[in-house]
Copies of this chain bind each other. A is one copy, B any other.
């Protein structure tokens, strides 16, 4: 299937000169200096850490590209079934350290170093640099909001490690998720123009450009044709999707997959339709506008608002990605009916659902397939991952907006819906209610809406949730009717996971070293087979091991203390002398009412009020410390810029911190700190340092959560509700090793209903906290500043059930204090057992699940 334009007699010259991988320190020295002196046009006279980072990245990138080429050529030759993972977000973080960890020496290399990372580190040392300083130069690739985007990043890592032929498709936003600044306690968003330091990891694919069309109208040569027959979409606006590729390395494999991100650029074709205007200035302005399509990542997490540009982004991305997938398929010259045998497309949430309509359009309008034939191919190709049951997070588009932007797709959507509803009607005759409840078009005032989740279900052969509880919930709530219609087998579960290469090896090198030594696994194969970690359980009674374990944690806490100091005007937040006696209680994730950071900070306030009361009763602070031992509550996370309540929670945390941290009477036994601009590289510092972390969403709201897994994998214990993946984590690590509390999801509806009718059984502990807020001790300038927060609980139905869970939350916190401070040996054992049993939540397992139950793909192992 490979055909070349290079004449045969030239090939030996190519082979003779083929690019070589880095096999030794000397190879790296040479590559590095050459990149500095040619690509960067710099020299040893002006090579700073940033230039060293760039030259290192370019050198390692070259290495990756050699394997990338080999991988892609093999895929082309063997033509296996491929997975395409469509995600509007890929929260990749930094690439260099990850690439170094994954870097494989070429065959026959006799380099003396244990691994390539050490080799590069030595080489840099000899050239005048420290690897650690070099790594820190890299800006985060923050092309995601939170969990959904980071999941995509973990999956693409595991897909490659598992040698699955897979490409990710996303958008190359010029602006990633905003950078969060905290000014006077408030979140202030500043644009993250992350490319202004360049991006040495991307391959600019000038040669891969596809036109994408918007607006316009539909033409059918013959007025009598139906909308299910080939139609011509005459577009009104045209932009070019240009590809940027990011090679994705895997661990202990030379397979390199590809993450292809699209950038919108102006078309340079001559547009006859527009030339009449004769207005050069305007036509340049029109062209310039093209780039705005991929300018900005929408900074909302678990919330959807229907902006035209967002829909444009989605179609732009789906159209370009499908075009690319189809082009690749067509080169194999297989029959269309074989398409689903060769191509599996996974929809990460509903954002890429337009791909369903686009594939149907291409097959019917451009390739001339019959409607049914085409639809059969479509539904066999797609599978859909749901990430939420919350109404406000379900994507909907006004029909008029949809039809204006994508007139032909709306026709196809109507027909898809029509055939689907006919099928339903046959199954449930005379049941108008079910028809209206499952229709992809929602008939509501003032305007009808396209329900993207329903489109995704109807257009896919499998639908999965991301944790067992969540997958059950979607079947019994939002998608209940679809289970009846399609049968339960269409719905499945794949519990989320995380890549241990980044979240253990890269983030926590000290723990990784201890594990490697303890398991006597010098090649760190446990990172490929996390069941090996269970062996750690054998060492829980080994005092020496426990001390080492605790010592790793202590060192990581010290590193986090450095980070906090940096954001605290250079002053220590915690007492470094007492680090081992200070419980690090961490909640880092998007700020959301359903994630209940407000409950956490209320808990902090309650503790503070208790301490103050005891002080006022004349107790000494030493005595009080026995009851409320030393603790720091650490927060981090961004709020959507328009999410008022979430931003108010951030302000509250900072106001509380301001009061507590400056109250000398409490002698520092309680501290609060909000780390600004939480992102992947900060997570890599924060997570390994946690003693306890909070995963306390209202039961039934968090689909899975993945930070819970990251904390556990780093030996942090969890306080959590019976929600999302907490349930399965409990099952795996044992209920003795996790601190669960709160009401169960089954009770949520009843509790909410109860709030509507009575508000009397309000816990005194919470009342006290809210009264303190009302008194203005945390907002001296404006005692009503936090009114919306207490109002939502006292008067607006307490939708997130803070009042119902608060008492058990406080009780559990008390238990945690006791265990950490008075049963430390137990605590460390729990920590060890958490890590020992967390293996299930590695993303390699997810990929195996998807491959087997949804995609039906096989690995292609390199020779």
Residue ranges of A at the interface with B (Cβ–Cβ < 8 Å): 2-7, 10-11, 13-14, 16-19, 29-30, 32-34, 37-48, 50-51, 54, 61-62, 65-66, 68-69, 73, 76, 126-128, 174-175, 178-179, 181, 183, 188-193, 196-198, 203-204, 206-207, 209, 240, 242, 245, 247, 265-266, 268, 270-271, 275, 278, 280-281, 283-284, 287-288, 292, 295-296, 299, 641-642
How distant is A798 from chain B, measured CB to nearest CB, in Å?
A: 28
With a CB–CB cut-off of 8 A, which chain B residues contact A265?
A: 193, 196
Closest CB pairs A-B (n = 8): A280-B641, A17-B33, A10-B128, A19-B37, A38-B62, A198-B206, A6-B128, A189-B280
| A41 in complex: contacting residue of B46, B54, B65, B188, CB < 8 Å | B65
A698 and B207 CA atoms in complex are apart in Å by 47
Q: List 23 A-B contacts (CB under 8 A).
A: A4-B45, A7-B128, A13-B29, A16-B29, A17-B29, A17-B32, A38-B66, A43-B73, A50-B206, A50-B207, A54-B206, A178-B280, A181-B270, A188-B275, A190-B283, A191-B280, A191-B283, A193-B265, A193-B266, A196-B268, A280-B641, A280-B642, A288-B295
The reply to whether B29 and A41 contact each other, CB–CB distance below 8 Å, is no
How distant is A39 from chain B, measured CB to nearest CB, in Å?
A: 8
With a CB–CB cut-off of 8 A, which chain B residues contact A5?
A: 47-48, 128
With a CB–CB cut-off of 8 A, which chain B residues contact A198?
A: 204, 206
The reply to whether B2 and A45 contact each other, CB–CB distance below 8 Å, is yes
Q: A41-B203, A66-B37 in contact; A209/B196 too (CB < 8 A)?
A: yes
The reply to whether B17 and A30 contact each other, CB–CB distance below 8 Å, is yes
With a CB–CB cut-off of 8 A, which chain B residues contact A190?
A: 268, 270-271, 275, 283
Q: A5-B128, A275-B188 in contact; A43/B69 too (CB < 8 A)?
A: yes
Given A40-B203, A280-B642, 19 more A-B residue pairs with CB atoms under 8 Å apart are A3-B45, A4-B46, A5-B48, A6-B45, A7-B128, A10-B127, A10-B128, A19-B37, A37-B65, A37-B66, A38-B66, A41-B245, A41-B247, A50-B207, A190-B268, A190-B271, A190-B275, A196-B266, A278-B641
How distant is A760 from chain B, measured CB to nearest CB, in Å?
A: 39
A73 and B42 CA atoms in complex are apart in Å by 10
A4 and B128 CA atoms in complex are apart in Å by 11
How distant is A196 from chain B, measured CB to nearest CB, in Å?
A: 6
How distant is A647 from chain B, measured CB to nearest CB, in Å?
A: 9
How distant is A468 from chain B, measured CB to nearest CB, in Å?
A: 37
The reply to whether B193 and A268 contact each other, CB–CB distance below 8 Å, is yes
With a CB–CB cut-off of 8 A, which chain B residues contact A179?
A: 268
A197: nearest chain-B partner, CB-CB: B206
A854 and B192 CA atoms in complex are apart in Å by 47
How distant is A853 from chain B, measured CB to nearest CB, in Å?
A: 33
Q: A41-B203, A207-B51 in contact; A14/B33 too (CB < 8 A)?
A: yes
A190: nearest chain-B partner, CB-CB: B270
A128 and B11 CA atoms in complex are apart in Å by 8
- Copies of this chain, how many? 2
The reply to whether B275 and A183 contact each other, CB–CB distance below 8 Å, is yes
With a CB–CB cut-off of 8 A, which chain B residues contact A54?
A: 206
The reply to whether B38 and A19 contact each other, CB–CB distance below 8 Å, is yes
How distant is A182 from chain B, measured CB to nearest CB, in Å?
A: 11
With a CB–CB cut-off of 8 A, which chain B residues contact A42?
A: 69
Q: A6-B44, A266-B196, A268-B196 in contact; A13/B126 too (CB < 8 A)?
A: yes
The reply to whether B283 and A189 contact each other, CB–CB distance below 8 Å, is yes
The reply to whether A191 and B69 contact each other, CB–CB distance below 8 Å, is no
How distant is A214 from chain B, measured CB to nearest CB, in Å?
A: 18
How distant is A857 from chain B, measured CB to nearest CB, in Å?
A: 24
The reply to whether A18 and B38 contact each other, CB–CB distance below 8 Å, is no
How distant is A18 from chain B, measured CB to nearest CB, in Å?
A: 6
The reply to whether A284 and B188 contact each other, CB–CB distance below 8 Å, is no
With a CB–CB cut-off of 8 A, which chain B residues contact A296?
A: 284
The reply to whether A126 and B38 contact each other, CB–CB distance below 8 Å, is no
How distant is A59 from chain B, measured CB to nearest CB, in Å?
A: 10
A240 and B32 CA atoms in complex are apart in Å by 29
With a CB–CB cut-off of 8 A, which chain B residues contact A281?
A: 641
A198 and B51 CA atoms in complex are apart in Å by 22
A32 and B280 CA atoms in complex are apart in Å by 40
With a CB–CB cut-off of 8 A, which chain B residues contact A292?
A: 288
A288 and B309 CA atoms in complex are apart in Å by 15
With a CB–CB cut-off of 8 A, which chain B residues contact A126?
A: 10, 13
| A191 in complex: contacting residue of B19, B40, B287, CB < 8 Å | B287
A265: nearest chain-B partner, CB-CB: B196
With a CB–CB cut-off of 8 A, which chain B residues contact A287?
A: 175, 191, 193
With a CB–CB cut-off of 8 A, which chain B residues contact A209?
A: 196
The reply to whether A196 and B240 contact each other, CB–CB distance below 8 Å, is yes
A62 and B3 CA atoms in complex are apart in Å by 30
How distant is A148 from chain B, measured CB to nearest CB, in Å?
A: 20
With a CB–CB cut-off of 8 A, which chain B residues contact A61?
A: 38
With a CB–CB cut-off of 8 A, which chain B residues contact A283?
A: 189-191
The reply to whether A278 and B188 contact each other, CB–CB distance below 8 Å, is yes
A37 and B247 CA atoms in complex are apart in Å by 13
How distant is A38 from chain B, measured CB to nearest CB, in Å?
A: 4
| A19 in complex: contacting residue of B33, B45, B247, CB < 8 Å | B33
With a CB–CB cut-off of 8 A, which chain B residues contact A247?
A: 41
With a CB–CB cut-off of 8 A, which chain B residues contact A127?
A: 6, 10, 13-14
A17: nearest chain-B partner, CB-CB: B33
With a CB–CB cut-off of 8 A, which chain B residues contact A128?
A: 5-7, 10
How distant is A697 from chain B, measured CB to nearest CB, in Å?
A: 25
A144 and B265 CA atoms in complex are apart in Å by 22
How distant is A823 from chain B, measured CB to nearest CB, in Å?
A: 46
A188 and B66 CA atoms in complex are apart in Å by 45
The reply to whether A68 and B41 contact each other, CB–CB distance below 8 Å, is yes
The reply to whether A44 and B641 contact each other, CB–CB distance below 8 Å, is no
With a CB–CB cut-off of 8 A, which chain B residues contact A14?
A: 33, 44, 127
With a CB–CB cut-off of 8 A, which chain B residues contact A19?
A: 33-34, 37-38
The reply to whether B73 and A4 contact each other, CB–CB distance below 8 Å, is no
A286: nearest chain-B partner, CB-CB: B191
How distant is A364 from chain B, measured CB to nearest CB, in Å?
A: 30
With a CB–CB cut-off of 8 A, which chain B residues contact A203?
A: 40-41
How distant is A119 from chain B, measured CB to nearest CB, in Å?
A: 15
A277: nearest chain-B partner, CB-CB: B188
With a CB–CB cut-off of 8 A, which chain B residues contact A40?
A: 203
A265 and B190 CA atoms in complex are apart in Å by 15
A30: nearest chain-B partner, CB-CB: B17
A427 and B372 CA atoms in complex are apart in Å by 94
The reply to whether A18 and B47 contact each other, CB–CB distance below 8 Å, is no
| A196 in complex: contacting residue of B37, B51, B242, B642, CB < 8 Å | B242
- The interface centre, meaning the residue of A45, A175, A278 with most chain B CB atoms within 10 A of its CB, is A45
